[in-house]
Amino acid sequence: MPKLLIVDDDIHLRKLVLTYAELDGYQCEEAENGQKALEKVNSKQFDIVVLDVMMPELDGFETLGEIRKRSQVPVIMLTSRGEEYDKLLGFNLGTDDYVEKPFSPKELMARIGAVLRRGGKKSCDNLTFGEFCVSPGSRTVTVGGKVINLPPKEFDLLLYLVQNERLVLSREQLLNKVWGYDYYGDARTVDTHIKSLREHLGDNRRVIQTAWGVGYKFEYE
């Protein structure tokens, strides 16, 4: 039975998520603020965390930053703030997905399931192109021996592009394969992640090439 931690200062929202999650077979715990969430993450093992952004004292971004110092547990953030900057900040800190309020509980459960399924798909074979190496087993990227730290979702996106080297993949294909067939997003989700991924790659950003009007491809030159 997968373990879910629900973090939100709104007790009614917590109970709503808990009700649907338990019906789907999850074992749930709650935290009413970021500090309580960190205490639970430090003392217990969770399979996934649903984390609100707007909380007093320690907000969701600060909480996520602290979680990532000690754990790679998948995190889905709940937010009423849909600006691109906020999403990029969350992805840079290591969130796996966003759900904007107000949301459908069924959609949230679908996204939780998709994130957990993706986490189980791993291979140990390194993918090497010159000095550029992607290691699915350890979920690391190295260039010339230097490690590039990527948030979980950006790593998944890069890995799928690398596994299909030189093939142009449409935004719809990337949504389906990286986010899951039951993902309720749109093409802007892919574009936002590609932008953030390129920022993390820095001087190596050219390996992610744009096919205008279609999508993206990985090509190491």
The DSSP annotation for 77-132 comes to EEES---HHHHHHHHHHT--EEEESS--HHHHHHHHHHHHHHHT------EEETTE
Query: Would the CA dihedral through 177, 179, 185, 189 be positive or negative?
Result: negative
Tokens of 132: 């550029």
The pLDDT value given to residue 80:
77
The pLDDT value given to residue 185:
59
The pLDDT value given to residue 51:
96
The pLDDT value given to residue 172:
87
Classify residue 6 as left (phi > 0), alpha (psi -120 to 50) or beta.
beta
Alpha helices for the chain (secondary structure H): 11-23, 34-43, 60-68, 84-93, 105-119, 152-163, 171-174, 187-201
User: pLDDT band at 82, cuts 50/70/90?
Assistant: low
The pLDDT value given to residue 30:
96
- In this structure, are residues 14 and 8 in contact, taking their beta carbons and an 8 Å threshold? yes
User: pLDDT band at 183, cuts 50/70/90?
Assistant: low
Taking only the tens place, the pLDDT of each residue in 89-106 is 888 888 888 888 888 999
Distance (Å, whole) CA 67 – CA 132: 29
Mean pLDDT across 123-152: 83
Query: Which SS3 state, helix, strand or coil, does residue 48 take?
Result: strand
**Phi, psi for residue 123 in degrees, rounded to 5:** -135, 150
| DSSP label at residue 168 | -
User: pLDDT band at 83, cuts 50/70/90?
Assistant: low
The pLDDT value given to residue 152:
87
The pLDDT value given to residue 41:
92
Mean of per-residue pLDDT scores for the chain: 87
User: pLDDT band at 75, cuts 50/70/90?
Assistant: very high
Provide, rounded to the nearest whole percent, the portion of the chain with pLDDT above 70: 92
Taking only the tens place, the pLDDT of each residue in 22-57 is 999 999 999 999 999 999 998 888 999 999 999 988
84 pLDDT above the threshold of 80: no
User: pLDDT band at 184, cuts 50/70/90?
Assistant: low
Taking only the tens place, the pLDDT of each residue in 107-127 is 899 889 888 877 654 444 688
Query: Would the CA dihedral through 99, 14, 115, 117 be positive or negative?
Result: negative
Range with top average pLDDT, 5-9, 51-55, 67-71, 95-99: 5-9
**Helix axis angle, 105-119 relative to 11-23, nearest 10°?**
60
